[in-house]
């Protein structure tokens, strides 16, 4: 950080610099898939995370430390983040996994997506990876090409998947102590209405 701030000074006032610092204390983005497609258990060093968060705030005026790869942690780990005053955690992969692995997700559509990945992203398939590991690492890229099919799922299917996601969100909001923080949000976050023009392809 000292070296970074020195470089920032040399560039003048054009760059504001970072507001938080990202760390890895035992996790990997999205988790580490094992040969059978399951995700390896990880153990975060919460003591290191707490010390880095405190130093980031006190010495450098940052919001704190960001923990990457938190979405595949066991449920009992999440209440540790408020206790260590972690500034931010990343959870996207966990929600992606819930969608793909949901009992409500249509098996034929899942198979079509996986076939597409194996055909179109074969160049990303590492020699040491099993098919399950390749699928786990690449299936985040399956949403885009199948956007229409996903948006067109029957209402009962969407309701089942959304109910599972909502349950997880409620659990995380409670564990991460997000509940009751709306006044703080309103105090500091000021939404800006940005009007968007209708794309020509959607007109008419």
Report pLDDT digits (tens) over 118-144: 999 999 999 898 999 899 989 999 999
Number of Cβ atoms within 10 Å of the Cβ of 99: 17
pLDDT at 64 over 60: yes
Give the pLDDT confidence score for residue 34 in this predicted structure. Answer: 47
Distance CA(72)–CA(89), nearest Å, equals 11
Q: Starting at the edge strand that comes first in sequence, how are the strands of the sheet with 21-23 ordered?
A: 21-23, 65-67, 88-89
Under DSSP, the state recorded for 197 is P
pTM of the complete model: 0.77
Stronger pLDDT, 138 or 201, i.e. the higher one: 138
Please give the pLDDT value at position 90: 86
Distance CA 5, CA 57 (A): 15
203, pLDDT greater than 80: no
| Residue located via tokens 């003048």 | 12
Q: Both tokens of residue 163? A: 């109910």
- Alpha-carbon distance of 70 to 29, in angstroms, equals 8
The crossing angle, in degrees rounded to 10, of helices 155-175 and 92-101 is 150
- Asked if pLDDT for residue 28 goes beyond 60, the answer is no
pLDDT score recorded for residue 77: 85
Whether pLDDT at 58 is above 90: yes
């Amino acid at each position: 950080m000292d070296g970074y701030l020195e470089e920032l000074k040399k560039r003048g006032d054009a760059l504001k610099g970072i507001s938080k610092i990202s760390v890895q204390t035992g996790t990997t983005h999205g988790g580490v898939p094992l040969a059978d497609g399951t995700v390896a258990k990880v153990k975060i060093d919460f003591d290191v995370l707490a010390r880095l968060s405190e130093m980031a705030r006190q010495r450098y005026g940052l919001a704190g430390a960001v923990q990457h790869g938190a979405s595949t942690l066991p449920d009992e780990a999440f209440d540790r983040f408020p206790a260590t005053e972690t500034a931010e955690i990343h959870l996207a992969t966990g929600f992606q996994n819930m969608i793909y692995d949901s009992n409500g997700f249509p098996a034929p559509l899942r198979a079509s997506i996986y076939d597409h990945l194996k055909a179109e992203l074969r160049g990303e398939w590492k020699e040491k990876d099993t098919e399950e590991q390749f699928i786990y690492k690449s299936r985040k890229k399956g949403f885009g090409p199948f956007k229409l099919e996903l948006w067109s799922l029957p209402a009962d299917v969407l309701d089942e998947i959304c109910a599972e996601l909502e349950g997880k969100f409620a659990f995380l909001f409670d564990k991460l102590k997000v509940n009751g923080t709306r006044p703080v949000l309103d105090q500091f976050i000021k939404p800006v209405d940005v009007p968007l023009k209708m794309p020509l392809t959607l007109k008419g």
